[in-house]
Each structure stands twice: as C-alpha cells, then as structure tokens.
Structure 1
Amino acid sequence: MDVSAKVTAKTAFLFILPQYNVSVPTADSETVHYHYGPKDLVTILFYIFITIILHAVVQEYILDKISKRLHLSKVKHSKFNESGQLVVFHLSSVIWCFYVVVTEGYLTNPRSLWEDYPHVYLPFQVKFFYLCQLAYWLHALPELYFQKVRKEEVPRQLQYICLYLVHIAGAYLLNLSRLGLILLLLQYSTEFLFHMARLFYFADENNEKLFNAWAAVFGVTRLFILTLAVLAIGFGLARMENQAFDPEKGNFNTLLCRLCVLLLVCAAQAWLMWRFIHSQLRHWREYWNEQSAKRRVPAAPRLPARLIKRESGYHENGVVKAENGTSPRTKKLKSPLRPKC
C-alpha cells in the first residue's frame, strides 16, 4: 500500500505542481526555482480541465441568472457571455500579475527585465502564472463548441485566442517571462475595461461613458507596450555581452531573434490599432447616418389657418364654438415613425 501510495502521489504531483525544480544558492540560503520542459504539457492539460469546470460554474450561477433578467437577444446574449467570462478572467489575472510583478521587484527595477538574461530559472509564482495562462487560452478553443458560438463570431474569437497563445508561449519559451508579465499587465487592464464597458452597455444602452474611457486608455496602452518592448529588446538585450544562440542554455539573444520578436510585437499592436480605428470610424459613420436620417424626417403637417365652418357650430372671435358654447377638441396628429438604424 505504501508503494502504491507513493506512485499515486508522484503521478498526482506531476499533474498539479510545476515540474523541473532546481535549488539555486543565494547569499543567505537556497531558493527553489523552476525551468520549463515537456512535462509542463501534462500540468497544463490538468488545469485546462479545471478551467473548463470554473467556466461552467461562472456561466451557470452568475451569467445565466443576469442575462435572464436583461432579456437579451441571441446576438447580445452571446456577447454578454463572452464579456462576462473575460471580465472574471482579466480581473483575476490583473490582480495576480500585479502581485507577482510587485513582489518580484520588476516594477521598481526596470533594468531587471533584460539584465542577467537568459532568465531560465523562474520563481514558483511566475511559472505557475504562465502555466495557468496557457491553460486558460487553450481551454477557450473547446469552449467555442461548448458555448455554441455562432459561426460568424468564431473567426474573431480564434484570432485573439491564437494571438494570446503565441505571445504568452513565446515569452515563456524564449525566457522573456519578466517582460511578458509587464506587457500582460498592461494588456489585461485595457481588456478588462473594454469588457466591463460592454456589460454596462448591455444593461443600459445609454451608458457609454466606459467606452470613452476605454478608447482613451487603448491608444496609450499600445504606446506603452511598443515603448517597453523596444526598450527591453531593442536596447537592453542588444547591449548584453552574451549574444550567442544557445537553446540548451536558454539563450536566444541574437540579432535575428530580437528582430523577429520586435516584429511580432509591433505587428500585433499595429493590427490591434488598425482594428480600433476601423471600428471607431464605423461607429462614427453610423452615428452621422442616424443624425442625417433624423433631419430628413418630414415635419408634422400644420393645421390650416382658417377653420371651415361646420353645421354643428359657429364662429366667435375666430374660434369655432359648438352649439353649447364649448370649443370642439382638435384631433392629435401622429408623429412619423423613427427610422431604424
């Protein structure tokens, strides 16, 4: 029984805990750090199932109850579920990422983003954060089927899922985990604001203040991400002495690798900015079309200046009077229908 229990415990640890731990000596004592390897796929697979379960709990006990009260259409219901899930994920990721960045000292010492590269050995919380991030975005692929996402929405969701997977896996495998944490913190903060704005909009279509705040933050975030990537990769890593391509030691600090990473980051930010500008222009065009349509609506016809004398009454001081001396009630005119947007 003891032998079987030990085997079961080792197998369970393979799924639950990060693997490849190494004792790194420090000035006072030793600390345990981790590096990546093939066994990480087993751990990621386990947390994919955990994420699917949590996704279903949030959907059933929170989002479904709220959407029933709002009486949303099918299109809005699908977008509401998407934004509701991402609000929970982005909020938890921002809090977790901010805690890791502060405790590891990456914010107080920006030079640590490129100094002592390659950052092969990771603290437990850094590695576990990356494993959970990869598990979440991989779980989003089968969720497209489980949530019965409309065919028109699948390409859009696949685009940003693959974009996150490429960037997170690239930062993890190229030992750029410190820079990746800062960039994810900026990106997730902006995305959290956007999906919160969508939720408030679905609750009340007149509430668009958060969209204006998100639009202002979006452009600033793109600028910060590009500046930080160029500073860390284009200048910081370029000045490091060790610039030999050595995958066994985790060193990818070569000119070609740096150019590829910068090109990927810049292309992604340019694509996001182009989509943002295109979306804003489309919304402005719809707004001005709505305003011009309102101007083209014909005005309500005016009543004739002179009223025709009727047999049932008579004129007195220019006003038609009934036989009993009271003024007849004028019939209200219906206003023209508002054009559909």
Structure 2
Amino acid sequence: MEQVTAKTAFLFILPQYNVSVPTADSETVHYHYGPKDLVTILFYVFITIILHAVVQEYILDKISKRLHLSKVKHSKFNESGQLVIFHLSSVVWCFYVVVTEGYLTNPRSLWEDYPHVCLPFQVKFFYLCQLAYWLHALPELYFQKVRKEEIPRQLQYICLYLAHIAGAYLLNLSRLGLILLLLQYCTEFLFHMARLFYFADENNEKLFNAWAAVFGVTRLFSLTLAVLAIGFGLARMENQAFDPEKGNFNTLLCRLCMLLLVCAAQAWLMWRFIHSQLRHWREYWNEQSAKRRVPAAPRLPARLIKRESGYHENGVVKAENGTSPRTKKLKSP
C-alpha cells in the first residue's frame, strides 16, 4: 500500500526472478528460482501457521468435543483433520495445474526440453506453498504438543516431503514432481479420510481396504513413471553436460542419484505398509483364535427341589409353629 515499502513487501508476497519469454503472439512471464525465494517461503510459513490455528479452533476442536475421544485418538484426529484439508486442496490445485499446462495429455513433456528452468507462475507458486507448508509442520510439532513417541514418525515424513519437493524444484524436474505429488496426495487423502471415519465409528473400516489397494498401485505407478522419465527420457536427451548455472543436471551420476532417492523412498514406504498390514492381521487372528479357545460354559439342567414346609434356622428346619419337625424312627431289620 505504501510506495516506500512496496518493493520490500513484494519480496515476501510475490514470486521473484520473473523473465519475459517471447511467443508467437506476444510474450509471457515465466519465473526461475533463487535465494530470494527463501523470503517468500518464510512469509507463507507464517500464513500457514495462522490458517492451521483457524482450522484447529473453528472446525476440528468442535468436532472432537462431540466425539469424546481419548488423548491418543484426539491427537491422531487433529493430525488427520489438518492433513485431509491440506491434501484435498493440494490435489485440486495440482490437478488444475497439470491439466492447464498440458502435462497429462503430453507425457513426453516431462523430460523434453530439459532443463525446465523457466516456470509458469502457478507452477512456481505451487512449489513455494508446498515448501512453506512442510516447513511450518516443524514448529507445529511444538504448538500441537505432539507426544514424544510420535515425533520421530512425523519427522520422517516431513523430511521426506521436503527432500522430494525441494529436489524436484532445484533440479528442474518440476513437471515430474507435480505428477508424483498428485499421486501421493491422492493416496494420503484417502488414508486420513479413512482414519477420520474410523474415529467417528470404529466399525467403519471399508475405506482402509480401498486405501490399501490404491497404495500399492500408486507405489508401482510412481516408480514406473520415475524410471521412464529419468532413466529413459533424460538419458536420450542430447544435452547431457553438468552445468549448474544453466540448471542442467542431466548426467549419468545425477540420474542415478535421483532414481536411487525415488526408489529408496518408494521401497521404504512399501516396507512400512507391509509391516503395518502384517501386524494388523496378526492382531486380528490372535483375537479370533483367543475367542475360539474359550470354551462355552456348560448349562446345568434345572432340578426340581422339594422344599420342606417351614423355614430354616441355624441349619435346622423349623415348623411354622416354631417347633422342629419330628424325625422318623428307622425300623431295625
């Protein structure tokens, strides 16, 4: 609003390093990355923290109070609730970018014309917001008072997302990164939605079965797409010189490192998934076998008991008039 501080404010709000690219009709504005992007990411980290607090207070807290969850389930409910909103918005945004830029209709564009140094505005802004969100998740571990047992697990996922998103952004593989993020976010959205339904009704586990099927297909498709784009597509490109100034990292060593990182991440995710599924199946079969081992209590047949007239007092049957009944004399044989 003020002209004196407007230039400084634009560093925080808008993406920097714009370049005019001439076209047949006119010219379009594209962007590349640089150190000033850190200032923009920092600004959107603060914005994301504010949005996180608004969603927590006005949506998730009101729902969790009605469900009456325990402390452990309450923490997992808050985590899944925040990630459902983030993954849903990211899937819609990423799908819109991929369709409008034509990456789905032309798969060869994922590796053609590499390096993809000049990015459209919506592609660069998407990457900046993604980095801001996963960076904001680090201080949120303290703000949300996450348990010490849960911190290592969440740190692993946060670091994996930051490494892959920053790697795709800095190595000029933004197009491939968009497709892989779209697949991953669809799977994660389904998983956290299944957890929310489970917390609302513990008998509702159908979405977990759907997520398990989608998870395996997503891992296979992501691995295949990465090998196709990096291992075959970039390997056939003519320009294979290491030139960081021009953003070209298309060398054999760089391609092997990229594939190793992607394959290791997919293998680690698949191993965690199989280990979790085996543990759940083992617990389920142990419960079923325990139920079968417990024998049913035999029902004793009801016997008719002939009661003597009167009442009992100190183990002796008394007549109704208070005297003890006479005992019958046994005749000698």
TM-score normalised by the chain length of structure 1: 0.89
Cα separation, 1, equivalents of 2:125 and 2:326: 78
Conserved in 2, the CA contact under 8 Å of 1:23 and 1:33? yes
Q: Specify whether residues 310 and 129 from structure 1 end up closer, same or farther in structure 2 by C-alpha distance, changes over 3 A only.
A: same
Distance verdict in 2 for CA 1:319–1:309, change over 3 Å: farther
Q: Deviations over 1:105-138 (max 9, x none)?
A: 0000000000000000000000000000000000
Deviations 1:33-84 (CA, angstroms, capped at 9, x unpaired): 0000000000000000000000000000000000000000000000000000
Query: Cα–Cα, structure 1 residues 311 and 51, in superposed 2: closer, same or farther, change >3 Å?
Result: same
Q: Is this contact kept in 2: 1:114–1:232, CA < 8 A? A: yes
- Deviation, 1:309, is 3.3
> Which structure has the larger Rg?
2
- Inter-CA distance 320–127: structure 2 relative to 1 (3 Å threshold): farther
1:143 aligns with 2:140: yes
Q: Pick closer, same or farther for the CA change 1:249–1:293 going to 2, 3 Å.
A: same
1:328 shift after superposition: 25
Match of 2:183 among 181, 186, 192: 186
Deviation at 1:293, TM superposition (A): 1.2
Q: CA deviation at 1:169?
A: 0.0
Percent identity of equivalent pairs = 97
CA–CA distance in structure 2, aligned partners of residues 239 and 128 of structure 1: 30
Q: Corresponding residue for 2:285?
A: 288
Secondary structure of 1:22 counterpart: strand
CA shift, 1:311, in A, is 3.3
The 3-state SS of whatever aligns with 2:303 is coil
Q: Over residues 278-337 of structure 1, what are the superposed CA-to-partner deviations in whole Å (9 max), with x where a residue is unaligned?
A: 0000000000011111112231231136444333799999999999999999999999xx
Please tell me whether the aligned partners of residues 309 and 320 of structure 1 are also in contact (alpha carbons under 8 angstroms): no
1:91 to 66, 88, 91: 88
| 1:63–1:302 Cα change, 3 Å | same
Paired residues of 1:313 and 1:320 also in contact (CA < 8 A):
yes
**Residues 50 and 310 (structure 1), Cα distance of their counterparts in 2 relative to 1, 3 Å cut:** same
Gap change, CA 1:323 and 1:87, over 3 Å in 2: farther
Q: TM-score if structure 2 supplies the norm length? A: 0.91
Instruction: Name the Cα RMSD after superposition.
Output: 7.2
Distance 2:312 2:147 in 1: 67
Q: Deviations over 1:16-46 (max 9, x none)?
A: 0000000001111100000000000000000
Aligned pairs, number: 330
Give the conservation status (yes or no) of the 8 Å contact 1:34–1:123: yes
Structure 2 segments unaligned to the other structure (5+ residues): none
1:171 to partner: Cα distance: 0.0
Q: Within the alignment, does 1:57 sit opposite 2:54 as a pair?
A: yes
SS of equivalent to 2:28: strand
In structure 2, relative to structure 1, the CA distance for the partners of 1:308 and 1:145 (3 Å cut) is same
- Tell me how far apart the structure 1 counterparts of residues 97 and 110 of structure 2 sit (CA, whole Å): 14
Partner residue of 2:122 out of 125, 128, 151: 125
Closer, same or farther: CA 321–109 of 1 in aligned 2, 3 Å: farther
Q: 297-306 vs 215-224, which deviates more?
A: 297-306
User: What secondary structure does 1:329 align onto?
Assistant: coil
Q: How does 1:318-337 map to 2 (within 5 A)?
A: none
For 1:332 and 1:189, locate their aligned partners in 2 and report how far apart those are by CA, in whole Å. 93
